[in-house]
Chains A and B, each alone.
Chain A
Amino acid sequence: MVSRDPASTRRTVGAFDVRFFIAIALGLIGVFLLICAVLADPELAKTGGIHANLWTGVALVVAAIVFAVWARLRPMYVDTSAAPEAPPQKVGAPEPELIVHDDDEPRGRTDTGR
């Protein structure tokens, strides 16, 4: 049974969550496109009338916010008490306990059947 005591065995991966990197990348590029949309020629003849830099910029900023909020609401945890590797090659050895906790794990049922 994995202990679920947050103080001793679990900590969040903090800023090292891939969703923050995605948010930063898409957000910065989105802002860059919005600046282009204001300052540069929209070249509507090329795009067939769509203000391409503007709309792509908006979409990227929205996507960045979604990723940042998701990472905030459902942080990833590392269980620092678990051994990273279970002893190898034991016949019928049970799978190691889940190490990272994320929204992939069923909620509120961690105590059943173990």
Chain B
Amino acid sequence: MDTIIDVAWYDYVPLVIYFTLVLGIGFLGRRHVSNAIDFLLSGRSLPAWITGLAFVSANLGAVEIMGMSANGAQLGIPTVHYFWVGAIPAMLFLGLVMMPFYYGSRVRSVPEFMLKRFGPAAHLVNALSFALAQLLIAGVNLYLLGTIVNAMLGWPMWVTLIIAAAIVLSYITLGGLSAAIYNEVLQFFVIVAALLPLTIIGLNRIGGWSAFEEKVLAGPGGSQQWSSWPGSDLSGFTNPVLSVVGIVFGLGFVLSFGYWTTNFVEVQRAMASNSIRASRMTPIIGTFPKMFVPFIVIIPGMIAAVLVPEIVAYKEAGGPSDSTITWNQALIYLMRDVLPNGLLGLAITGLLAAFMAGMAANVSAFNTVFTYDIWQRYVQQDKADHYYLNLGRIATVVATVIAIFTALIASGFSNLMDYLQTLFGFFNAPLFATFILGMFWKRMTAAAGWSGLVFGTLSAVVVFIFSRTGAIDLGGQGAAFLAASVAFVVDIIVSVVVTQFTAPKPEKDLVGFVYSLTPKERRTDPEASRHPWYQRPLPMAGVSLGLVIVLNLLFG
């Protein structure tokens, strides 16, 4: 079998070390300290630096690493918008504004917040769309994992899928949900250890930073690829003003706020922290590693596009679709060209760790929402604890099997999966509109909650179909930005209109869920003022924002 990379036998050593440890965390968590660990992890008791790293790590899966290095290779520096505009502000907003409601209201999941604020209809819409999205994204993660393993090790697709699924399955069921956060923190450091040397050695091969700049400027994309603004290639708007507006409002506001503030996979990490202050600090601490992730993900992609002969030729040809090379392979080609055996094994380990953890996060979020938000709420209400525990295990197995089939389908229709995934991005935009309205407007009614979600999502789908059929002509991410923005606006209009004609919930039921009805003690941490400034949400959010602005200026 032809592979891109030549692996030596000892390149498997880091792989064995890492996966032995991951499974070991599961065993230890189960056998020796099961009380303490359950207590520690599910009892809202972790310090903020751990949950903060897990927060970033849960998002650092296949789609992020391969996708963003691919974008880096294709579009260059403007890809940083996905981080500095499309993630940091939303993470800060989650920590400063929204986290007190999630944490203070003591809900177990994001759909449960929907239930308590808007009642069953909105809850069901949210829980079902979230569960479905997680299943399909787990499948996409698995499919990407399969293609990568195939390119690196040459195993056939179906063998890869089954082995990867078995490993993910064993580490979810073995360690339980409780060990997931530990694994994510561990995985974060392994990824950094894998990608940082790749970046540094790659730059060294080119001849340093200034030689790198020269080569990118001389490349097919020219100076557009060396400065982040206006980012026309990324947004698909040729007019620079429109492009900036599209990126700031479409990506920076609607898409990213929707994703970061309502995605249960992320919010769950912050919910596991030990105080309202720590829960608010979780995404804020997370912004610091997050803002530097582009340097070990996008930069290697760009290095590949000027250093690796195959990718250079591919880029010069404009990325033809009939080529055997794809942008997604940029990172793997760079690994082949610059890493000696040994370090190569570590790099492979880092990538596999990220992909499996990403899939594990999807599957375990699916099983929580399926078991507690769907099954326990609507199918079997009053069963003993172990009934739901067993159900959760069965759901995990079924979800993994479904993910294998989704991955097999995706391998036949890779474009289709791209579309599906973009589509699920749209679910988040109306969700964010509903949440933010619901948190600050006590009049907003239950009927407005579900109808806003349904019509918002439908309008995004309509815009998306128009753009696919050519009725709306936007390249790049323009169509996605537009669809999300339309969904956001439609959701707000529908919610406001429906609220006028329906009765609001009684105010006493909204305590803890709406800003004006929640006493200050519930929203804030009375102990916060005793902590030094670097352990308080507001000052740290200010530092983070300042750093991102500086980074934007440096690469603007």
Residues of A within 8 A of B (CB): 13-16, 18, 21-22, 24-26, 28-29, 32-33, 36-37, 40-43, 46-50, 52-53, 55-56, 60, 63, 76, 78, 80, 84-85, 88-89, 91-96, 98-100, 102, 104, 106, 109, 112-113
Q: How many A-B residue pairs have CB under 8 A?
A: 161
Task: Output the least CB separation between A91 and chain B (Å).
Answer: 6
Given contacts A36-B341, A40-B340, A94-B521, contact A13 B346 (CB under 8 A): no
Q: List 17 A-B contacts (CB under 8 A).
A: A18-B186, A22-B185, A22-B186, A26-B193, A28-B17, A32-B17, A36-B341, A46-B340, A47-B204, A47-B339, A50-B204, A53-B342, A55-B197, A60-B193, A76-B47, A85-B44, A100-B47
Q: Are B343 and A33 in contact (CB under 8 A)?
A: yes
B21 lies within 8 A of chain A by Cβ: yes
Q: Are B274 and A98 in contact (CB under 8 A)?
A: yes
Helix, strand, loop or mixed for chain B's interface? helix
- In the assembled complex, the Cα of A6 lies from the Cα of B494 at a distance in Å of 57
- In the assembled complex, the Cα of A58 lies from the Cα of B197 at a distance in Å of 12
Q: Please tell me which one of the listed residues A16, A52, A89 contacts residue B29 in the complex, with CB atoms under 8 A apart.
A: A16
B50: chain A residues at CB < 8 Å are 18
Given contacts A52-B343, A109-B530, contact A99 B274 (CB under 8 A): yes
Q: Are A48 and B201 in contact (CB under 8 A)?
A: yes
Known contacts A32-B17, A52-B339, A89-B106; 8 additional CB pairs below 8 A are A13-B33, A21-B186, A29-B18, A36-B10, A36-B340, A46-B339, A98-B527, A104-B49
Interface-centre pick from A37, A56, A93 (highest chain B CB count, 10 A): A56
Q: Are B346 and A29 in contact (CB under 8 A)?
A: yes
B443 lies within 8 A of chain A by Cβ: no
B338 lies within 8 A of chain A by Cβ: yes
B512: chain A residues at CB < 8 Å are 89, 91
- In the assembled complex, the Cα of A58 lies from the Cα of B527 at a distance in Å of 41
Q: Please tell me which one of the listed residues A42, A96, A102 contacts residue B47 in the complex, with CB atoms under 8 A apart.
A: A102
Given contacts A48-B205, A84-B39, contact A95 B276 (CB under 8 A): yes
- In the assembled complex, the Cα of A104 lies from the Cα of B39 at a distance in Å of 19
- In the assembled complex, the Cα of A104 lies from the Cα of B274 at a distance in Å of 11
Interface-centre pick from A76, A78, A94 (highest chain B CB count, 10 A): A78
Given contacts A85-B44, A106-B530, contact A43 B341 (CB under 8 A): yes
A46: chain B residues at CB < 8 Å are 205, 337-340
Task: Output the least CB separation between B107 and chain A (Å).
Answer: 9
Q: Are A47 and B205 in contact (CB under 8 A)?
A: yes
B47: chain A residues at CB < 8 Å are 76, 100, 102, 104
Q: Are A53 and B193 in contact (CB under 8 A)?
A: no
B519 lies within 8 A of chain A by Cβ: yes
- In the assembled complex, the Cα of A79 lies from the Cα of B39 at a distance in Å of 10
Which residue from chain A places its CB closest to the CB of B35 in the assembled complex? A80
Task: Output the least CB separation between B187 and chain A (Å).
Answer: 9
Given contacts A29-B193, A60-B193, A104-B49, contact A52 B201 (CB under 8 A): yes
Given contacts A47-B201, A104-B47, contact A53 B36 (CB under 8 A): no
Helix, strand, loop or mixed for chain A's interface? loop
Q: Are B535 and A104 in contact (CB under 8 A)?
A: yes
Given contacts A16-B28, A52-B197, contact A104 B278 (CB under 8 A): yes
- In the assembled complex, the Cα of A91 lies from the Cα of B523 at a distance in Å of 11
- In the assembled complex, the Cα of A88 lies from the Cα of B105 at a distance in Å of 8
Q: Please tell me which one of the listed residues B8, B14, B42, B44 contacts residue A96 in the complex, with CB atoms under 8 A apart.
A: B44
Q: Are B197 and A100 in contact (CB under 8 A)?
A: no
- In the assembled complex, the Cα of A63 lies from the Cα of B36 at a distance in Å of 27
Q: Are A26 and B189 in contact (CB under 8 A)?
A: yes
Interface-centre pick from B42, B274, B341, B532 (highest chain A CB count, 10 A): B274
B383 lies within 8 A of chain A by Cβ: no
Please report which residues of chain B, range 38-86, place their CB below 8 angstroms from some CB of chain A when the two chains form the complex.
39-40, 42-50
Task: Output the least CB separation between B326 and chain A (Å).
Answer: 23
B405 lies within 8 A of chain A by Cβ: no
B17: chain A residues at CB < 8 Å are 25, 28-29, 32
- In the assembled complex, the Cα of A2 lies from the Cα of B193 at a distance in Å of 40
B42: chain A residues at CB < 8 Å are 84
Given contacts A13-B36, A16-B29, A25-B189, contact A49 B274 (CB under 8 A): no
Q: B296-316 toward A: CB 8 Å interface, digit per residue (1/0)?
A: 000000000000000000000
A102: chain B residues at CB < 8 Å are 47
A28: chain B residues at CB < 8 Å are 17
Which residue from chain A places its CB closest to the CB of B46 in the assembled complex? A100
Task: Output the least CB separation between B52 and chain A (Å).
Answer: 11
Given contacts A25-B21, A46-B338, A47-B205, contact A78 B36 (CB under 8 A): yes
B140 lies within 8 A of chain A by Cβ: no
B511 lies within 8 A of chain A by Cβ: yes
Task: Output the least CB separation between A94 and chain B (Å).
Answer: 7
Task: Output the least CB separation between A112 and chain B (Å).
Answer: 7
A113: chain B residues at CB < 8 Å are 530
Q: Please tell me which one of the listed residues B43, B342, B526 contacts residue A40 in the complex, with CB atoms under 8 A apart.
A: B342
- In the assembled complex, the Cα of A47 lies from the Cα of B207 at a distance in Å of 11
Q: Please tell me which one of the listed residues A18, A29, A49, A76 contacts residue B185 in the complex, with CB atoms under 8 A apart.
A: A18
Interface-centre pick from B338, B342, B345, B349 (highest chain A CB count, 10 A): B342
- In the assembled complex, the Cα of A41 lies from the Cα of B36 at a distance in Å of 46
A48: chain B residues at CB < 8 Å are 201, 204-205, 207, 338
